[in-house]
Structure formats: C-alpha cells, structure tokens
C-alpha cells in the first residue's frame, strides 16, 4: 500500500490532481466494462443470475439508460439479451432477477430508485409479453413440442405469478 501511495504522490506532483482523477475514472470504467464482458462471455451453461448474481445485482443500475442506448450490440443490450434467453427456461434466474429488484426497492429511497425500477419493470413486461406471444404462435401453428417447450411455459408462468 505504501508503494502505491508513493507512486500516486509522484504522479500527482508530475501531472497534477486532475490527471489522477481521470486515471481513477478510467480504471473504474475499465473495471465496469470488464464486468459486462465477463458476464456476456460466460459459457452458455453458466447463467448470469444463477452463478454471478453478486456481480449482476449492482449492474442493474446501468439499465436506467437502456432506452437511450441506440446500439443493438452495446454491452448493455447484449447483457439484456443474454439474461432474457436464460430467463426463458430458468426459474432460479427469474427469482434472482426479481429479488435484486426487491433489494433495490428496500435499500434505496423510493424517489431515487423508482425511475430505475420503472425501466426494469417495462423491460420485464416487454420481455415476458414477447415470450408469451412466441409460445402462443407455436401453439397456434401446431409447432408446440411439449418436451422442448414445457420448461419455457413453466418459466413464463412462474414469472407472471411472481409479478402479482
């Protein structure tokens, strides 16, 4: 720790406090993007909410800006797509996702956290609604295969009932 402080003081004398602030901000952003990339690149059998909920929970805050993110392949959108796929068949992922939102509503003042929870609720409603439409289309088209599709029906119904 002493070595780090000496290096920091040397850089501060040479480049000034602004440089140190920018450097630390850059490290924070780098760590943040590392977390996104780590979660997005997990092997498909390792679900984000099942195995990395302690990392994913704090990242929920970034979804506040989801609607302003215009890129379809941004880390935020890729992370949401991956979680959405996993929540189609995994009730534990669904449960962890909603528990994290409940934790936010209990831990933070409602006036400050309500906008984020509103965005997450909207994303969840859109995701579940789309999933129900796809299941109904399979049923209507005679393409529903119970062995393949039952897990999705159980998961979507689990999430619908959890929301009440």
Degrees, nearest 5: CA angle 38-73-34 = 20
Percent of the chain surpassing pLDDT 70? 80
Rounded to whole angstroms, the Cα distance separating 86 from 27 reads: 30
Note whether 59 and 97 are within 8 A (CB). no
**CA 162 remoteness from chain centre:** 19
Rounded to whole angstroms, the Cα distance separating 68 from 95 reads: 27
pLDDT exceeds cutoff 80 at 156: yes
Looking at residue 55, its pLDDT comes to: 86
Looking at residue 153, its pLDDT comes to: 96
Rounded to whole angstroms, the Cα distance separating 161 from 158 reads: 5
Looking at residue 13, its pLDDT comes to: 57
CB-based burial label for 57 (10 Å; 0-12, 13-18, 19+): middle
């Amino acid at each position: 720790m002493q070595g780090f402080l000496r290096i920091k003081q040397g850089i501060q004398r040479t480049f000034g406090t602004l440089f140190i602030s920018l450097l630390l901000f850059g490290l924070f952003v780098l760590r943040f993007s590392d977390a996104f990339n780590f979660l997005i690149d997990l092997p498909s059998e390792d679900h984000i909410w099942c195995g990395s909920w302690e990392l994913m929970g704090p990242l929920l805050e970034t979804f506040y800006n989801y609607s302003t993110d215009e890129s379809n392949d941004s880390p935020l959108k890729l992370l949401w797509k991956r979680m959405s796929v996993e929540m189609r068949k995994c009730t534990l992922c669904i449960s962890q996702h909603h528990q994290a939102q409940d934790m936010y509503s209990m831990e933070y003042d409602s006036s400050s956290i309500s906008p984020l929870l509103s965005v997450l609720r909207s994303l969840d409603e859109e995701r579940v609604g789309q999933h129900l439409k796809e299941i109904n289309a399979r049923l209507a088209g005679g393409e529903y295969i119970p062995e393949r599709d039952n897990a999705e029906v159980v998961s979507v119904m689990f999430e619908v009932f959890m929301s009440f």
